[in-house]
Amino acid sequence: MIPASFDYVAPTSVDEVVSTLAEHGDDAKVLAGGHSLLPLMKLRFAVPAMVVDIGRVEELRGVRDAGDHLAIGAGTTHHEIVHDPLVRQHCGLLAEATSMVGDAQVRHRGTIGGATAHGDSAGDLPAVVSALEGTFVAQGPGGRREIAAADFFQGYLETALAADEVLVEVRIPKHDGWGFAYEKFNRVAQAWAIVGVAALVRRENGSVAEARIGLTNMGAVPVRATASEEALAGADRTEDAIRAACQHAADGTSPPADLSAQPDYRQHLARVLSARAVARATG
Amino acid sequence: MTVIDDRPADVGGVGTAPWRKEDAHLVTGQTTWTDNLAPVGTLHMAFVRATMAHARIGSIDTSEAAGMPNVVGVFTGADFAEECPTLPCAWPVTPDMVHPAHPPIAVGKVRFAGDPVAVVVARDRASAVDAAETVLVDYEPLPAVVDMEQSLTDEVVLHEDEGTNKAFFFSMPTGADIDETFAGADVVVKRRFIQQRLLPTPIEPRAVLCIPQAASGDFTIYSATQIPHILRTMLAVVTGMPEHKIRVIAPDVGGGFGAKLQVTGEEVIALLVAKRLGRPVKWTETRSETNLTMHHGRGQIQDIEIAATKDGKLLGLKVDLLADMGAYLMLVTPGVPILGAFMYPAIYKMDAYRFNCTGVFTTKTPTDAYRGAGRPEATFAIERIMDELADELDMDPMELRKLNWITHEEFPYEMVAGLTYDSGNYEAATARAMELFDYEGLRAEQAQRRADGDRIQLGIGISTFTEMCGLAPSRVLGQLDYGAGGWEAATVRMLPSGKVQVVTGSSPHGQGHETTLSQITSSALGVPFDDIEVLHGDTQVSPMGLDTYGSRSLVVGGIALQKAAGKVVDKARKLAAHLLEASEDDIEFADGTFSVKGSPDASKSIQELALAIFAAHDYPEDMEPDLTGHAIFDPENFSYPHGTHLCAVEIDTETGHTSIRTYVAVDDVGKVINPQIVEGQVHGGIAQGIAQALYEGVVYDDDGNLVTGTLVDYLVPAAPDLPSFTTDRTETPAANELGVKGVGEAGTIASTPAVVNAVVDALRPYGVHDVEMPCTPERVWRAIQSGQKGGAQ
Ligand SMILES: Cc1cc2nc3c(=O)[nH]c(=O)nc-3n(C[C@H](O)[C@H](O)[C@H](O)COP(=O)(O)OP(=O)(O)OC[C@H]3O[C@@H](n4cnc5c(N)ncnc54)[C@H](O)[C@@H]3O)c2cc1C
């Protein structure tokens, strides 16, 4: 619970962050809200020699309307996102799910960049950004690049970010008119999801035109319940039709086993919660 | 800071709820925790701990650590073997109990993951931790002994010199012949319940600071402890150092729940290192160390069997326990299940009872007292099996209880287990609880949901509990082979200006003693609440005491105080009579004023008398010039709070998720000194009991590694997870001077079975008869699945 010794810098621009990362390579770690990194350092699971605090980089904060999408600075806190009018208007799923992250303290420190760059599929936001088909913008010595959510999450605590890259922005396409719901199942309110389901539904002529389902904690990376999404396309808005489609929500998943759940129970929860989330999103 | 106190001016006496004296400094962060103290030159300790559950220690290479910056010393078990060969166990429950040596730092073998193997002492904490990481221990691994039943086969023995993993076998048959009783019964129900291990999780972890005084050879020890007095005596006993040279101070202590009722190796080592190096030495544990090494609670396998007539009259009870000691016997480890022995018959009349308990060593963290200590386990088992018996007999579980409990006319009542309950009114508490709960309405809703096959099923759980607390009559403790008595000390001292100093031997760690004891003093002496100061938790200020645990502070310490205050009043009366030139018999005392019968103008307030006796110009010849009273109170009996807790849960049968819909607690804690503090104890207690029922549980893997090493894996519920509790009280005075009963553990004892009974009740249509604690969603879901597969008979 006492971290190993480390050096600390707090640059004020993205360029400085990138040059510091370039200088220190693998020995450096970006510090955002610290709510995932600091526990790891205290347990000495992470022992960075240099901690680069991005908390003072103003350009990494805030939500911007960029036409067909919202551009959310990586350093924007969960609390800011929950209360942001643009997010609530165009990407309600993100606001709802973010409001369920941890507790108020966590939401005031934790950032969307940290919660996704950490690459923990038990976190709520990776599955949500996957369902929203967001894009991550990273900046490194060679400039900026965009990474689709589907390519960003690569394994347990592993993302497409290189050691010398900083995540600067998360772009979320506007989902005006889509119904949405995030069903989070946990044992105590402030714990991580045993399973979470993010659902988005676009309706047309009284039936489901398109549905997207992102699953939290159902594998090493956030998973899309594609079989259910396909079964839902064009389906009736009835409870039976939704349930039938969501019977396939866990197809092809290999969820983890831990103290809260064995894999078969997680798969069962994914099916039940998908049906609930889709039903709610269908409205 | 402005404090706005809008409570009526007359608050402060018994029965009122003044603002807690403790709160202003707690909520404004003016507290002094042991970890806040840092005398100049303090050295910091970091322990190297066993990374495996069971192993022989080969070499320990401390050379790199010793050479690291700021490191002052590195020590292993061998370095202290002569000064402290073993930590104490004060409760040999049987004459032939196996009591293996428990060195403060392991010697030769480690017996649980977390057992200390070396200590690094450095000028700052980070350097100590860094250096501890470099100590290389060469282990020869031995098989872990995790399972209690496997432990008893003795294939792998933890304490080889003892040759067995069985610590003791305790048997207590009482009443009629148990075998005949069971043979003659119409109905016998048998169950096995598992009491999972729990982490006590006080918010403040353990911490100790030992300051040596070179010239005098004195040692001042600050410790986050519940037991400064016992700790001082024990430190002297185990190290051979003179007791009068050791002063123990418990400054602000942030919770204990029994886990700080301990004499830990870390405290002993802090003393021995301070002695050796002549410098202040400090240790504050990390939260990971708390989980790993602070003693655990519970940890029992309970086989319980109940015999009854077909009409539901109880005949007898058999209990066979396996109690997990963990790797060593700590201060009262073996005594915890034995305290439970007296509580299995609970509030029910029966003629035959047999309690057997086998204490077992396993390669896990030692167990010891945790809120309730033995009584929650007992209450759980009896209240659960009462529900099972009701189900077997097809009776309403409350009717079954009513048929068997002691009625209020029958007190005092001598129980089959040997205790005499002094007071109680189970009918009244139950009637009030049923009314607040709407028992009939909820049963009707339950029937409807069952008939409809509703996804959400309702379950109703009952716990008509009692418990024994207020530890305890010294003679009884002696009969139980406990190493000390159970009295408590109090001193009341009038200062010259009329203010009052109260000294208590009981040592608070969150309960609010300063408030409650001020209220008792205020009522007894008739002086304002704010004129009273309560001193505690320092063996120099309060040299006599037996500290705080077992809900004893009020029922033992409070009564000691009442007696001490009575002595002050007696002296003051004598002085008043002298000064007012009246006979003592003609002196009346009310609201802090002594007056002469019939001439109310001739009066002296007790506060005036304090100045008069200080001046000592004029006082009776047969009196010493002071207004001080000192009393030691040794109770004749335990205290028996009781109550009826009713819980309704809703279970989502698709996911297995349980949520508590209604929780009603009607407690009878006798006369109440401070209703708000009682309410707080009840709320916190219920929360901790619910935690055992639904959320918490220590998990070890097969190799004896602690899996629930952090609070991410060990789930402690918080406010959002708990319902609003509906609480009320009935008031049946106890047979003591203040009419009071203990309340510190009652909520925890009551609530666990109420919740689990509700969970099982919800699932009975699925053929479910038990769900192991904690009743996690997964366990509930699996119970439903297997019930459905097995067919609901
Ligand atoms: C008690 C508690 C409860 C929690 N409960 C939940 C929960 O229910 N659901 C949930 O989803 N999360 C939960 N969290 C995690 C929380 O959301 C964290 O805030 C989040 O996981 C990490 O965000 P952060 O800003 O704190 O990142 P940090 O901890 O600072 O960083 C996390 C990782 O991301 C990297 N990183 C951060 N920002 C960038 C960047 N801009 N570019 C490149 N790399 C970066 C860091 O180097 C580090 O590896 C909880 C945390 C705590 C402490």
Reference B420, options B639, B614, B104; nearest CA is B639
Contact B777 A185 (CB under 8 A): yes
SS3 B316: strand
Q: Per residue in B647-674, pLDDT tens?
A: 999 999 999 999 999 999 999 999 999 9
With bands split at pLDDT 50, 70 and 90, how would you rate the model's confidence at B787?
confident
pLDDT at B791: 43
Amino acid at A51: V
Cβ(B681)–Cβ(B743) below 8 Å: yes
Contact B288 A1 (CB under 8 A): yes
Residue B771 lies in a domain: yes
pLDDT at B611 over 50: yes
Give Dmax (Cα) for chain B.
90
B456–A contact, CB cutoff 8 A: no
pLDDT at A205: 87
B599 & B675 share domain: no
Show which of B633, B659, B686 is a domain's final residue: B633
pLDDT at B7: 67
Structural domain boundaries enclosing B749? 406-413+421-468+638-788
Q: Per residue in A102-147, pLDDT tens?
A: 999 999 999 999 999 999 999 999 999 999 999 999 999 999 999 9
Burial of B132 (0-12, 13-18, 19+ CB in 10 A): buried
pLDDT at B1 over 90: no
B610 & B737 share domain: no
pLDDT at B189: 98
Q: CA of A261 to nearest chain B CA: how many angstroms apart?
A: 6
B747 & B722 share domain: yes
Tell which one of A60, A72, A94, A106 to mutate to probe ligand 1, the residue whose CB is within 8 A of the most ligand atoms: A106
pLDDT at B64: 98
Residue B341 lies in a domain: no
pLDDT at B556: 98
B535 & B598 share domain: yes
Cβ(B655)–Cβ(B777) below 8 Å: yes
Residue B701 lies in a domain: yes
CA of B49 to the centre of ligand 1 (A): 30
B774 & B654 share domain: yes
Number of domains in chain B: 2
Mean pLDDT in residue range A2-21 = 96
Reference A51, options A41, A62, A39; nearest CA is A41
Mean pLDDT in residue range A260-276 = 98
All domains of chain A, ordered by start, with CATH?
Answer: 7-53 (3.30.43.10), 63-173 (3.30.465.10), 179-282 (3.30.390.50)
pLDDT at B792: 40
Show which of B633, B664, B690 is a domain's final residue: B633
- Residue A167 corresponds to which tokens in the numbers above? 């995540």
Show which of B587, B615, B633 is a domain's final residue: B633
Q: Per residue in B722-753, pLDDT tens?
A: 999 999 999 999 999 999 999 999 999 999 99
| pTM (two decimals) | 0.96
- Residue B354 corresponds to which tokens in the numbers above? 């047999």
Query: What's the CATH number where B721 sits?
Result: 3.30.365.10
pLDDT at B9: 65
pLDDT at B644 over 80: yes
pLDDT at B671: 97
pLDDT at B150: 96
Q: Pairing state of beta strands A207-216 and A195-204?
A: antiparallel
Mean residue pLDDT of chain B comes to 96
Mean pLDDT in residue range B601-622 = 96
CA of A281 to the centre of ligand 1 (A): 27
Q: Residues B246, B328, B717, B754: what is their CA dihedral angle, to the nearest 10 degrees?
A: -110
Contact A187 B695 (CB under 8 A): yes
B673 & B686 share domain: yes
B681 & B654 share domain: yes
Q: From residue B463, give the alpha-carbon distance in Å to each of B405, B429, B748, B749.
A: 12, 11, 11, 9
d(CA B756, CA A23): 58
Mean pLDDT in residue range B58-67 = 98
Minimum-distance ligand 1 atom for the alpha carbon of A54: 41
Q: What is the ipTM of this complex?
A: 0.96
Contact A189 B129 (CB under 8 A): no
pLDDT at A281 over 70: yes
Of B288, B699, B778, the CB nearest to A265: B778
d(CA A201, CA A192): 25
d(CA B211, CA B220): 5
Nearest CA in chain A to B655: A269
pLDDT at A63: 98
Tell me B692's DSSP state: I
Contacts with B777 from chain A: Cβ below 8 Å: 185, 187, 194
Which value, in Å, is the radius of gyration of the alpha carbons in chain B?
A: 28
Residue B679 lies in a domain: yes
